[in-house]
């Protein structure tokens, strides 16, 4: 599965891995044959191989005690050459194995990074789409708010007209009360007109109230969509930052390997300093002592926070950039 993915990510690494695997297999086969030949030629060398040549004279497996010194020395030289050759072959095989592991680790890192970048690209595309959606929804919400405002104004006008129409009916009724109460006399034209006006105003007021309800319902629904879109955007932004950070963490194996190498080198130098200080002047010896007895990593001890360390700055910037651009580069390991 990893190999199939890698062919999409970086075919050259896959080729290097296959070559390294083949080289290791060939070296292991050569080592197996050489080891068998060595054992056949020097059958008494089993203990010697584990102890090294320092016990050569004690084991005395190369020649009998009765042989001449010259032949014994020649046999010793032959043994030494064969042993060194075997050791060199074993070292080559071990180096090939380390190269295979290194390439496999690199491939896994690249696959993980490529997968995270692919998902990040998708998330960033969703963020862009959601931003466009939010812009459209915000515009729609603003338009609907204007529509609701106009509907409410129209409803207020309709209610005012209905109130006026009701007053007109009351006035017409008061003016023609006698005719209205006389069953033999038809309702006056003024009262008919007033009542018709009130019915029309009441119908208009009802329609206006319904318009307000419809407009408000639309606004509520659109505002909910806008709120949901903003929530989605927050979640997408958070996911983009998570993926950006996960892409940065793919550098950990290489950084760890680099840190171990640097720490080993530092340990060697500190050891040499300690050794040489014994022969140095009092002043130099004091300087070395002060250095060796001080903490190696003093930034936090001096009150600094890891997030504020200068070495972290490019990684902060890289994660921020990655959260907006899935193709952004990570800092170079040596630049840390």
CA 86, 105, 23: angle at the middle one, nearest 5?
Answer: 35
Give me the pLDDT at residue 170, please: 87
Q: For residues 297 and 300, what is the distance between their CA atoms, to the nearest angstrom?
A: 8
**């690494």: which residue's tokens?**
13
Give me the pLDDT at residue 64, please: 47
Q: Is residue 288 part of a domain?
A: no
Per the structure, the count of domains in the chain is 1
Give me the pLDDT at residue 5, please: 40
Q: Is residue 118 part of a domain?
A: yes
Q: Is residue 19 part of a domain?
A: yes
Q: Is residue 297 part of a domain?
A: no
Give me the pLDDT at residue 121, please: 94
Q: Are 206 and 200 in contact (CB under 8 A)?
A: no
Give me the pLDDT at residue 14, please: 67
**């995270």: which residue's tokens?**
116
CA 243, 248, 249: angle at the middle one, nearest 5?
Answer: 95
Residues of the chain with pLDDT under 50: 1-9, 45-59, 61-67, 183-185, 335-336
Q: Is residue 294 part of a domain?
A: no
Q: Are 319 and 244 in contact (CB under 8 A)?
A: yes
Q: Is residue 146 part of a domain?
A: yes
- Domain limits at 159? 2-250
Q: For residues 306 and 310, what is the distance between their CA atoms, to the nearest angstrom?
A: 9
- Residue among 130, 125, 32, 7 at smallest CA distance from 86: 32
- Residue among 295, 102, 199, 194 at smallest CA distance from 110: 102
Tell me the pLDDT tens digit for each residue of 160-183.
999 999 998 888 888 776 666 664
Q: Is residue 87 part of a domain?
A: yes
Q: What is the CATH number of the domain that holds 209?
A: 1.10.287
Taking the mean position of all CA atoms in its chain, how far away is CA 94? 34
Give me the pLDDT at residue 232, please: 96
């Amino acid at each position: 599965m990893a190999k199939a993915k890698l062919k999409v990510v970086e075919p050259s690494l896959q080729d290097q891995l296959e070559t390294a695997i083949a080289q290791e297999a060939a070296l292991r086969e050569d080592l197996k044959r050489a080891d068998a030949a060595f054992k056949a030629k020097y059958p008494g060398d089993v203990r010697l191989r584990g102890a090294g040549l320092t016990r050569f004279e004690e084991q005395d497996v190369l020649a009998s005690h009765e042989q001449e010194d010259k032949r014994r020395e020649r046999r010793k030289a032959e043994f030494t050459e064969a042993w060194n050759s075997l050791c060199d072959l074993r070292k080559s095989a071990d180096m090939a194995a380390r190269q295979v592991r290194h390439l496999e680790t690199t491939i896994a890192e690249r696959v993980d990074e490529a997968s995270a970048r692919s998902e990040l690209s998708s998330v960033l595309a969703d963020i862009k789409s959601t931003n466009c959606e939010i812009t459209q929804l915000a515009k729609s919400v603003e338009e609907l708010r204007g529509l609701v405002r106009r509907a409410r104004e129209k409803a207020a006008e309709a209610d005012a007209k209905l109130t006026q129409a009701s007053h007109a009916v009351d006035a017409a009724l008061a003016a023609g009360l006698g005719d209205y109460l006389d069953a033999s006399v038809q309702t006056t034209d003024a009262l008919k007109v007033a009542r018709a006006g009130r019915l029309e105003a009441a119908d208009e007021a009802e329609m206006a109230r319904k318009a307000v309800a419809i407009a408000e319902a639309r606004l509520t629904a659109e505002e909910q969509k806008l709120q949901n879109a903003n929530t989605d955007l927050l979640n997408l932004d958070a996911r983009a930052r998570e993926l950006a950070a996960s892409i940065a963490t793919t550098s950990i194996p290489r950084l760890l390997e680099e840190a171990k190498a640097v720490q080993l080198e530092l340990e060697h130098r500190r050891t040499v300093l300690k050794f040489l200080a014994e022969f140095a002047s009092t002043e130099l010896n004091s300087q070395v002592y002060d250095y060796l007895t001080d903490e190696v990593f003093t930034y936090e001890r001096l009150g600094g926070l890891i997030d504020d360390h200068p070495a972290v700055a490019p990684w902060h910037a890289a994660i921020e950039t990655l959260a907006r651009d899935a193709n952004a580069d990570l800092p170079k390991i040596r630049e840390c």
